[in-house]
Amino acid sequence: MLTEPQPGITRIAPRKTRVGLVSGGLGAYWPQFPGLLPQLQESARRVAQRLSQLDCEVVDAGFISDPHDGAAAAETLRRADCDLVIGFLTTYMTANMLVPVAQRTGAPVLLLNLQPTEAMDHATFDTGAWLAYCGACPLPEMTNTFRRCGIDVRSVSGYLESDAAWLRIGRWVTAAGVRAAFRHGRHGLLGHLYPGMMDVSTDPTLVTAQLGGHVEILEIDDLRVRTEKVTEDETLARMDLAREVFSLDGTVADDDFRWAATVSVAMDRLVEDFALDSLAYYHRGLDGETHERVGAGLILGASLLTARGIPACGEFELRTSLAMLLMDRLGAGGSFTELQALNFTDNVVEMGHDGPAHLAISSSRPMLRGLGVFHGKRGWGVSVECDVSHGPVTLCGLAQDRHGRFSLVASQGRAVPGPLLAIGNTSSRVDFGRDPGEWTDDWSASGIAHHWALGTGHRVAELRAVAELLGLPITVV
């Protein structure tokens, strides 16, 4: 996960992902092979130990040997409200031992088939020793039965200390954390839609219906009133913090800087008062009146919030603020982004956005630049300028089709160095390893809207896991 991005900025501590674990095997074996159960229980303890190293809270329901044990484990995990339930198949076990766990908890299920070592020692093994390697045997029985019961299930097969297997398990735990962030999330929607942006309009009810959580509708006055209550000392302290985090271009006017700092303090208060996990905003205003000035002063505060793990973006882009939250919880950052231009000389796509950035993934110290006018928007003030860290990057957006159904859209490339515009925008040059025009056509044909989140690392494997747990289609360009 992302660490503290800049001096003076402390990331929030998100709710820990809660993983339920139930291990088991067929009780008929225990009297037949007395040494088998202790060996399997030791494997179960090792799985619990390794799970606890994945930055999650493990609720261990113990080792089950029959359907009665399974029912008791199901009740334990139901009360725990798990984000993911893991069934460890230590040896053969019947499906009726685990199906109630899935049915009663309602959580996504991951089945583990992790044998003790890479391979059996065929020359010395007897039946009891073989049964400790027999977790693969019930796996098709489980997946068939679960699906016949209408329960989605996925599995990881390997051996106890396999790094490849634990990498895959880690992806599912991380994906469950993203699902939980949406399920428990509170998402602020402040102001109104940018007029005419039909692609970004989102019905808040659809967010709750498909992802869970709650969308809090906010007025510009909710922020204006808090702005008026910010003290001079609070403003000066925020200006000092901004000087630590940003380099200030000579174009930054002191009055505009002071105002942005004041609004930033008020934004923190707004987020705290409404317990927000993300924020999307836009307000037009007119002729320099107070509401226009508040709407124009959001960029500094939005960038600082995003760096703390509370993504904030402009243009009322609720779905992109959610995509930014997703990427942040993957540890990828996630900066507000749109297409800027194509560079056929260098074979890159230039992308970014005016306004807030994810400071934790900036390639260098971000800059505050003063703008006498915001292009396409009312008002003036300070804006953030930076480039995403060079290397592997992933684009992720939340698309919506004609039936209102959400889906994920993603693409992997590399952010590369080179000339960028100095106009107070976040800007990156991304090489997708193909003709920029062809990539742009394919990306646009995917159903993506004109904003998305740009994060570090190649994350498609993790995004596929997230999409599966959320029950969403995913398109990879």
Composition of the chain by helix, strand, coil, percent to 5: 40, 25, 35
pLDDT tens digits along 96-119: 999 999 999 999 999 999 999 999
Residue 393 C-alpha from the chain's centroid: 15
Sequence letter at residue 205:
T
Same topology, domains 17-182 and 185-476? Answer is no
pLDDT, position 31:
96
pLDDT tens digits along 311-368: 999 999 999 999 999 999 999 999 999 999 999 999 999 998 877 788 888 888 888 8
Sequence letter at residue 261:
A
pLDDT tens digits along 173-192: 999 999 999 999 999 999 99
Phi, psi of 96 (to 5 degrees): -70, -5
Class of the domain covering 185-476: alpha beta
pLDDT, position 3:
47
DSSP state of 28: T
pLDDT tens digits along 230-288: 999 999 999 999 999 998 988 899 999 999 999 999 999 999 999 999 999 999 888 88
Task: Give me the half-sphere count of Cα atoms (radius 13 Å) on the Cβ side of residue 27.
Answer: 9
Cα–Cα distance measured from residue 430 to residue 415, given in angstroms and rounded to the nearest whole number: 4
Cα–Cα distance measured from residue 262 to residue 235, given in angstroms and rounded to the nearest whole number: 5
Which 3 state secondary structure label does DSSP give 180? helix
Neighbouring-strand partners of residue 398: 408
Query: What is the residue extent of each domain of the chain?
Result: 17-182, 185-476
Residues in CB range of 237: below 8 A, 6 or more apart = none
Asked whether 343 and 436 are in contact (CB, 8 A), the reply is: yes
Q: What is the pTM for the complete model shown? A: 0.93
Between 3.40.30.120, 3.40.50.300, 1.10.150.120, 3.40.50.10940, what CATH number should domain 17-182 receive? 3.40.50.10940
Residues in CB range of 80: below 8 A, 6 or more apart = 18, 20, 59
Average pLDDT over the chain reads 93
